[in-house]
Amino acid sequence: MNKNGLPVYNQDMAHWIDLTEKHLGIVLSDEQRKQFQMLEEELLAWNEKINLTAIRDPLGVQEKHFFNSLTCFLGFKRPPESMIDIGSGAGFPGLPVKIVLPEMRLPLVESIDKKANFSRHIVDKLDLKDVTVLSKRAEEVGRMPAHREGYEIAVARAVAQAPVLAEYLLPLVKVGGRCLMQKGARAPEEIQEAGRIIGLCGGELSDLLRLSFEGIEGEGNLAVINKTRPTPGEFPRAVGVPAKKPILDSDGGK
């Protein structure tokens, strides 16, 4: 039993669970602890046969995938009822957030089939409701009526540079919603470069939060962008164009 009187299914997970409560204020239920343990076990097992992620040790999974994913909560105004995860890879950060918020509607967008298939497997294994996995590109999803400006939160990490992510994410968010970008050390420079496209797509930078926590290896940044106006119909541009021709502050044009 831990200090809250709840069983810890895997004692090796107690460290990150305690740090999640300490730093993020998230207290995991008995069932949620079990789900995270199952997610860890399945990810490590699949990774032995299929290259899903470069992180292959339990501590790395707990800190780099689970804890890091849950830092999204620092960018929420309130727990969202809907969130879309762009370039989710093996389901991060979307799946950990979904475990904590089981009623949240969550599409995971991942164009690489083997990674999308892992997410489908986990959704079934953990019996997660109201989760869809889309094997599509972000630009395609951003132009689909079923998804365009349909979410309170759009999130991405380690997918692309900030100017590209802004064009991916903002078309998916309702006015009044937010985009969250989990970024590394270059976040301030990237966000400055993305200023023009953020404005063109109807967004405004709200905050850039430094992510550094005692007991957690490494650090990063969380860029929080408010959606203040509808995104013009020309965005996102065609598949591949945002990455090949990002709209930067220094461009002076498209």
Which domains does the chain possess?
78-244 (3.40.50.150)
Q: Does the pLDDT of residue 26 top 50, yes or no?
A: yes
Gap between the Cα atoms of 239 and 13, Å rounded: 40
**C-alpha gyration radius of the chain:** 18
pLDDT band of residue 7 (cuts 50, 70, 90) is very low
Q: Are 37 and 12 in contact (CB under 8 A)?
A: no
Q: Does the pLDDT of residue 175 top 60, yes or no?
A: yes
Q: What pLDDT score was predicted for residue 5?
A: 44
Q: Does the pLDDT of residue 30 top 90, yes or no?
A: yes
Q: Are 181 and 209 in contact (CB under 8 A)?
A: no
Q: What pLDDT score was predicted for residue 12?
A: 75
CA 54, 56, 61 angle in degrees (round to 5)? 95
Using the Cα atoms of residue 229, residue 195, residue 187 and residue 135 in order, give the sign of their dihedral: positive
78-122 pLDDT tens trace? 999 999 999 999 999 999 999 999 999 999 999 999 999 999 999
Q: Are 156 and 109 in contact (CB under 8 A)?
A: no
Q: Are 54 and 64 in contact (CB under 8 A)?
A: no
- The pTM (predicted TM-score) of the whole model is 0.93
- Reading the block at residue 132, the tokens are 């869809």
Gap between the Cα atoms of 23 and 154, Å rounded: 23
Angle between helices 30-47 and 113-125 (to 10 degrees): 150
